[in-house]
Amino acid sequence: LGKSYYLNNQLDKALATYKFALILNPEDTKILVEMGMVYAKQGNKTEMKKIIDQLESLKPSFDYGATEYNVGRIYAIAGELDKAVAKIESSINKGQKYDLWITFDHDPDLMELREYPAYQKLMEKFKWVTMICEIEPKVETRLIASLL
């Protein structure tokens, strides 16, 4: 329900829905990510930063860059493009995979980055990594990324 409100730009309703959901599930990082995106879209950087800090404190030991990816999405929505690219690159280096339909180029939350030169350069590099991994699946994404 919160995502529907968010997509229809009914941000106050989205936020109320997420806050209620968070009461029921206080450590659900998916809810926190959505709240962070609402705050970013509202321009409420103080609350957005609190959410980012909370996400980073709840980060599991092995999330393979998922936390960084989500924080990058929040920064992109907020228009903090350099921070967004840095987080997205960190997520890749920690093992975030390129999923054709839901990440990176196809993630609507990263639309602000698509024309940004630093992001384009990163995606070009990452597409090469993904292509190499498809050819040789035993090779780790992180290893190849460090070589490029």
**What confidence tens digit (pLDDT) does each residue in 16-75 have?**
999 999 999 988 999 999 999 999 999 999 999 999 999 999 999 889 899 999 999 999
Residue 39 is predicted with a pLDDT of: 98
Quick one: CA torsion of 57, 95, 127, 138, rounded to 10 degrees?
A: -170
* CA dist., res. 70 & res. 119, Å (int): 15
The percent of residues above 90 in pLDDT, for the chain, comes to: 63
* CA dist., res. 111 & res. 114, Å (int): 5
Mean predicted lDDT score pLDDT of the chain: 87
Residue 83 is predicted with a pLDDT of: 98
Residue 128 is predicted with a pLDDT of: 67
Residue 9 is predicted with a pLDDT of: 95
Please give the average per-residue pLDDT across 66-88, as a whole number. Answer: 96
Residue 142 is predicted with a pLDDT of: 54
Contact 144, 132 (CB under 8 A): yes
* CA dist., res. 124 & res. 2, Å (int): 33
Determine which helix (DSSP H) or strand (DSSP E) holds 47, and give its type and residue range: helix 45-58
Helical packing angle, 45-58 and 66-78, nearest 10°? 180
Residue 50's contacts (CB-CB under 8 Å, 6 or more residues apart) are none
